[in-house]
Every structure is written in structure tokens, then in C-alpha cells.
Amino acid sequence: MGKGVEAIKSGAMDFVEKPADLKVLTEKIKKAKAQKMLIVEKKNKEKIENILQVLGSPRDLLKSLS
């Protein structure tokens, strides 16, 4: 099995063959950063939704504190 295939199966987003082309490497890094941002945003959204389910709506929370 090739190292690239093995890396992907182990969880890598991508791989770069040697010698690395700087333009290709830069694009792959940009793509990986964008994917990571989407993952983080999705997780944050899920956390907020879970908190809102537990606490109720912000308006209801404010009413209960009054």
C-alpha cells in the first residue's frame, strides 16, 4: 500500500509527494484550513444548539431570572 493511501486511511486530509511543488503545497494548506474551519463551525453550532435545548430560548431564560 502506498504511503499516501495509508496516510489517508489513517485520517490525513491529503498528502504531498516529494519533491513538493510550493504552489500545490500552498493550495493544499489553504484547502485543509478551510475544511478545518467548517468542522469547527459545525461543532460550535452543535454545542450552541445543545445548550439552547437545555436552557431553553434566551427569552425564556431571561424571564426565569426576573
Domain boundaries of the chain, sorted by first residue: 18-65
Cell numbers at 50, concatenated = 445543545
> pLDDT (tens digit, 9 = 90+) per residue, 37-62?
999 999 999 999 998 888 777 787 78
> pLDDT (tens digit, 9 = 90+) per residue, 4-36?
788 888 888 888 888 989 999 999 999 999 999
Cβ atoms of residues 32 and 13 within 8 Å: yes
d(CA 34, CA 27): 11
Q: Would you say the pTM of this structure is higher than 0.75?
A: no
